[in-house]
Structure 1
């Protein structure tokens, strides 16, 4: 009975245009897909996101991708700076090792095969078949 009454009041307010000036009116909702996050972590992830905090593994993944793109650009441009390329490769190795350690601590991807598989997927998506 209470749900029916609430629905009637909402419908009446809509007919009277009481919701027309709300922020976001007429725009699609931005829904968050947290289906891949365990239920017990969802609230903490939302709080972190709202506070502007990004989990370290996401930051590391983004840094790895950036370093991979820089290395690819060096290789494709024929960059003759071996020291710079070596520095990028070293930084990428350190980031990958830290990422692998974090994932192992969190029970995700317990081996380097997981990382290599991810690298292979990225190569294929980028059109860089072996």
Structure 2
């Protein structure tokens, strides 16, 4: 005599409750109904770290490297819209300082791959700002 799988019992109960809810129309008019699901590409995150990554992301926490990148991006945005030349120079110095600080903190350079869209965007914006200042 084989033992019953407790998970199959739970699965059976869950499926029945879902069917009951569907027949009562409880899933009608839910937010996002009829729209495609937005699936995340987590292929760049190691499989054993994906759950922790999702929990931290949902809690609004970013890894320090991404927090640095976000702040540098914010500063580059400020530079792009800065009219005052002295303020622009000050912000450019701040960007340089943050990159240097990141190198020291993480014991490695702030590495941007050339195929990273952020890399091209940062270079384009810094070139534009340098031309504008010069």
Q: Same fold (TM over 0.5)?
A: yes
The question of whether the paired residues in 2 share the 8 Å contact of 1:61 and 1:99 is answered with no
Paired residue for 2:81, among 70, 73, 78? 73
**Aligned residue number for residue 93 of structure 1:** 96
Larger of the two Rg values belongs to structure: 2
Counterpart position of 2:3: none
Instruction: List per-residue Cα deviations over 1:57-106 (Å, max 9, x = no partner).
Output: 222111111212222333xx4x342xx3332122101222344456x56x
TM-score by length of 1: 0.58
* Counterpart contact for 1:64–1:92, Cα < 8 Å: yes
Q: Which of 57, 81, 85 is residue 65 of structure 2 equivalent to?
A: 57
**5+ residue gaps, structure 2:** 1-7
Aligned to 1:122: 121
- Are the counterparts in 1 of residues 76 and 122 from structure 2 also a CA contact under 8 Å? no
Q: Distance in 2 between matches of 1:85 and 1:19?
A: 53
Q: Between 47-56 and 57-66, report the one with greater CA deviation.
A: 47-56
Task: Tell me if the contact between 1:71 and 1:85 (Cα under 8 Å) persists in the aligned partners.
Answer: yes
**RMSD of equivalent CA atoms:** 3.9
Partner Cα separation in structure 2 for residue 31 and residue 116 of structure 1: 24
Unmatched runs of 5 consecutive residues or more in structure 1 = none
User: Who is 2:22 aligned against?
Assistant: 14
Structure 1 residue 7 displacement after superposition: 9.5
| Residue 33 (structure 2) pairs with residue 26 (structure 1) | yes
